[in-house]
Amino acid sequence: MNPAPLTTLRRTTSEIDARTPAHRDRAIDGLRALALLAVPTGHWLLGGFTLDTGGALHNASPLASFGFFAPLSWVLQMLGIFFLVGGHASVLSYRRAAARGEPARRWLRGRVARLGRPVLGVTAVWAALIPVLYAMGVPGTTLRTGSTLVIQPLWFVGIYAVVTALTPWCIKAAARLGAWSAAPLLGSVAVVDFLRYGPFGDAVPSWLSLLNLLPGWLFAYQLGVSWGEKKLGRRGAWLLLAGGTVLFAALLLAFHYPASMVGVPGEARTNSHPPSLLVLALAAAQSGAAVLLHERIGKLLRRPALWAPVVVINLSAMTILCWHQTAMLAAAVPGSFLDGTVPGLTAGPDTWGWIAARVAWLPVFGALLLLIGRYARGFEAPWKRATHMRRALAGLLAAGFAVFALGLA
């Protein structure tokens, strides 16, 4: 065996470790990387397709047939962790910007630009691809299915941009109330859940659930801000872990919330869109565990071999988020043209064989994501060569794709 690749790998990991500033909080980056990887893993494992007689793909989920797999969604639903570390990191970034004399508006503009460029890139590319794929014979139903999957994770970016804009107010709330500043957000979601699921649920308009969008996802972000401001310590973390766990169990067992943290086709209720109180209970427990394990994770990531992948994942965060569904579709759409169904890909996710086959497909999806990311990562960097005309065209294409994906045209 040629030792050269292994030697190169060791040298690279050592260089990454050596270039990392001593003050870098490796545990925060590690938690963010873990939450990032949970997104494609969850979508690839808990999402599937069925193939109709016309050769078109439709969304499906193994949870519709295997309800006892719902606990897997508890593990893979790590957006609470993502918002937690996002709040923690935003505080540090905001404080550094203020120390440099940078206005809050400029700080926010830079943060939003880093979020918006990759989203604009993926939606513009898909807008240009749709007519090409349709001309090549891909059914319109398949294109709508694919568009729905692509746009599905992008709602998170919009919500994250909004809560990031609230960082100065989150800091003020943490200074006044500490970690308890997140409690009113929990209470707000509880009130809305009571109204839509309680004895008056039939009389409550469906749009009321949208009131949970902002407080539901701001909850963990506020905890992260409090943590970054050193207002959340081990005692508070234990309270979050215990209280979140008890509330989670009570909502499942006594109040009969859906067990799955993701939407299941055919189910009338969903926990995540918009977030229900169960999502906040899970986020509380996860946040408590993250704070308690912070030092241990940091020590573990002092090893160069473990730290280097974390750096790479964090540098490709938006690429992973924006393009992982495209990677799965890059396998599924060609598979829909083959004779018969492909196990784990275009066959219905309703057998044990599908589960085994889907696990076997995961490395393929990962390889396709790496290949796509090689070119798509350019959308994460500032568009220095982009003229106003090109930016306007990209925005127009992205808007057109959103209209198509949301079924407005």
Q: What is the H or E stretch that residue 48 is in? A: strand 48-51
**For 275, which DSSP code?**
B
**For 78, which DSSP code?**
-
- Mind listing the pLDDT tens digit for each residue in 363-398? 999 999 999 999 988 887 776 666 677 778 878 888
Selected residue with higher pLDDT from 242 and 65: 242
| Angstrom distance (rounded) from CA 351 to CA 334 | 22
- Mind listing the pLDDT tens digit for each residue in 105-143? 999 998 888 888 899 899 999 999 999 999 999 999 999
Q: What is the CA radius of gyration of the chain?
A: 22
User: What value does the mean pLDDT of the chain take?
Assistant: 91
- Mind listing the pLDDT tens digit for each residue in 35-65? 999 999 999 998 899 999 999 999 998 988 8
Whether 273 has a pLDDT exceeding 90, the answer reads no
Are the CB atoms for 25 and 36 separated by under 8 Å?
A: no
Structure tokens at 149: 């999957």
**For 23, which DSSP code?**
T
The verdict on whether omega for the bond into residue 274 sits within 30 degrees of 0, i.e. cis, is yes
pLDDT of residue 1: 46
Mean pLDDT, to the nearest integer, of 205-224? 94
**Direct distance between the N- and C-terminal alpha carbons of the chain, in angstroms, rounded to an integer:** 57
* Region of 55 on the Ramachandran plot (φ > 0 left; ψ -120 to 50 alpha; else beta): left
Q: Which of 125, 103, 38, 31 is nearest to 75 (CA)?
A: 38
The pLDDT > 90 percentage for the chain reads 67
